[in-house]
Amino acid sequence: MKRRIASIAGLLGLMASAAPVLSPQGIIVNPVPTDLSVQTWLDRDPSGLGNATYYFGDKIKIYVQVNQNAYVYLFNINADGQIDLILPNAYNQNNYLRGGETRVFPETGARYEFTISGPAGVDQVLAVASRTPLSLAQIADIKSGQMRVQGASNLARALSIVVTPLPDQDWVSDVVRYNVQPRWAGHPEPVAPRPPIFFISPLPGYAVLWEDREDTEYRVAYRGGDVEQVFSYYHRDLVAKGWVKVSFKSKGGKKNLAYEAEYRRGGDRLEVSVGPKGGELVVKLEWGR
């Protein structure tokens, strides 16, 4: 299980205009790097790789996390373009998340649930985070859950109008995709994978050249940067998640300085390395038990 992607920031970093970008999949993207980030993932895809499969009638849980205080808006986009408003919704209009907070929908004890239906294909969950509340008046009736636009491209265009007046650094988006298939007779109920030991987005404001995600390893390469600053970003996130640093060492001189550290949490172990390689600043996280 592996993913290698080029960064949106790296591809679009030279754009002079901060106007929202509409991807070929109809997803709204902020072309300006921002230190605000939002992550969304699913109960069967905790790493956000987009390889989860749900069958007609399955229940689905959607997770979201922000690194800074923000208002979060979640939309589910079916393969046929039907859009459902996940957050805010008629039962839960509290879409303000604090930095580092993770929320799941439906939440425990919720009076609603999300059930997978047709058609078969690839569905998407779009998350938009903003430092200030957004007006969805032209997009949806929150109290009834009725959408006023349908189709991914129409949603993206409507959202682009809403976020365009905002300062460049004040909004960001994320998307996760999943497969939907009909269930055939005798098909076994899928077993949800155990969540990964470690999950974090790249360092905000740094140009990402590529990412690799595997079952027990994550690597990301930045276009240069300060080793200490990058290491400190991952260290703070780990400590906030309950990890304890048990060893640390630095290698090399001023021009090729590299850090290596080991963290423990219960019976889990995580090794972190940050250092230059071939003109890139590479971060590697490898976990095990």
Which domains occur in the chain, in start order? 9-181 (2.60.40.2550), 208-288 (3.40.1000.10)
Where does the pLDDT of residue 198 fall: very low under 50, low under 70, confident under 90, or very high at 90 and above? low
Where does the pLDDT of residue 147 fall: very low under 50, low under 70, confident under 90, or very high at 90 and above? confident
Q: Is residue 117 over pLDDT 90?
A: no
Mean pLDDT throughout 161-185?
89
pLDDT at 130: 95
Q: Which two tokens stand for residue 160?
A: 């682009």
Write down the mean pLDDT value for the chain: 82
| pLDDT, greater one: 204 or 70 | 70
282 touches 276 (CB < 8 A)? yes
- Which of 106, 89, 87 has its CA nearest to residue 97? 87
Q: Is residue 280 over pLDDT 50?
A: yes
Mean pLDDT throughout 12-34?
69
- The reply to whether omega before 106 is within 30° of 0 (cis) is yes
- Rounded CA-CA distance 186/110 in Å is 30
pLDDT at 13: 37
pLDDT at 14: 35
- The reply to whether omega before 133 is within 30° of 0 (cis) is no
pLDDT at 200: 67
pLDDT at 190: 56
- 23-32, 164-173, 223-232: segment of lowest average pLDDT: 23-32
Beta carbons within 8 Å of 78's beta carbon, 6+ residues apart? 84, 119, 121, 123, 180
Mean pLDDT throughout 84-95?
88
The residue behind tokens 């976990």 is 287
Q: What backbone torsions phi and psi does residue 82 show, to the nearest 5 degrees?
A: -70, 135
Q: What is the pTM of this model?
A: 0.61
Where does the pLDDT of residue 1 fall: very low under 50, low under 70, confident under 90, or very high at 90 and above? very low
Q: Is residue 8 over pLDDT 70?
A: no
pLDDT at 262: 94
